[in-house]
Structure 1
């Protein structure tokens, strides 16, 4: 099975200048835990619900003044639509990430692959392996 068959096809992204209060509202409205940050049509980072908690709230910042660029995880690991699910899972395991942006041949973001998508594509052993890899305790 290819990533294109399992991924969520609708992905919303934000600009680096977007205030994190708006990012949080988008996460709530869409019921999602990660939002890609794009600039000039290219993904430059990712903001997760954990980023908001650790880099904004825990540090006492005002979410209406902090921008996406200030709290995003820069760069990003991603896969392509044509990749096999197993390849994407290995990437997620290696980088210990729960959500993997999906790009088309032009490196434009077209989807998101999450642990739940792996479980729904029918490979329970692969999903269990991924869950163990990304949720292990830190040494």
Structure 2
């Protein structure tokens, strides 16, 4: 642990086993404080809770969760539930080939089917590396989408900007980053 940690509002939570882990840490971080995940759980669960906090809002997510077109729908649903997200980029050898969202899955009954068969792959809305949050917001609003994959000149996935992260940045200006 780094002893040089600071928070913009001076709040630091205790590592309490009775606190609801990532939810409290996220709430405290949004107000500029530091939330602590307690250690009274298996290491895998600790890692999941920390990952939830880290992914809760970034503006630009530089290491987004992604799937391959061959991944089963069941894996997409599991990741969406685990990380509380509504869509996942789909890549093939790092190259963006689609995005799978709740809307794509809403009426799907065969969870063994590959995501490549149901994902959105036509007319993908993307932005280049270096896109600002203001530019991203404009693109998201213009195209009425909630997630903006960031791609390089070869269409390799380099990041993701969800509209809810842009909205949270405005709602929680003191948020710990």
TM-score between both structures, scaled by the size of structure 1: 0.71
Paired position in structure 1 for 2:70: 17
Give aligned pairs, total.
114
C-alpha contact 1:8 1:117 (8 A) present in aligned 2: no
Higher strand fraction (1 or 2):
1
Tell me by how many angstroms 1:36 deviates. 0.7
Paired position in structure 1 for 2:161: 113
Tell me by how many angstroms 1:123 deviates. 8.0
Tell me by how many angstroms 1:103 deviates. 2.6
Q: Which protein has greater RCO, CA pairs closer than 8 Å, 6+ apart?
A: 1
Paired position in structure 2 for 1:39: 92
The partner residue of 1:69 within 106, 116, 121 is: 116
Q: Which aligned segments of 4 or more residues in structure 1 are displaced greater than 4 angstroms?
A: none
What is the root-mean-square deviation in Å for CA atoms of aligned residues? Answer: 2.2
In structure 2, the gaps of 5 or more residues are: 1-57, 173-177
Give deviations 1:38-91, integer Å, cap 9, x for gaps: 11221010000121113x1xxxx3212x11111100042111331122221221
User: Structure 2 CA distance, aligned partners of 1:111 and 1:70?
Assistant: 23
TM-score between both structures, scaled by the size of structure 2: 0.57
1:103 correspondence with 2:151? yes
User: Structure 1 CA distance, aligned partners of 2:74 and 2:59?
Assistant: 30
Higher helix fraction (1 or 2):
1
Tell me by how many angstroms 1:110 deviates. 2.7
User: Structure 2 CA distance, aligned partners of 1:6 and 1:63?
Assistant: 31
Paired position in structure 1 for 2:41: none
The partner residue of 1:28 within 64, 81, 95 is: 81
User: Structure 1 CA distance, aligned partners of 2:127 and 2:171?
Assistant: 19
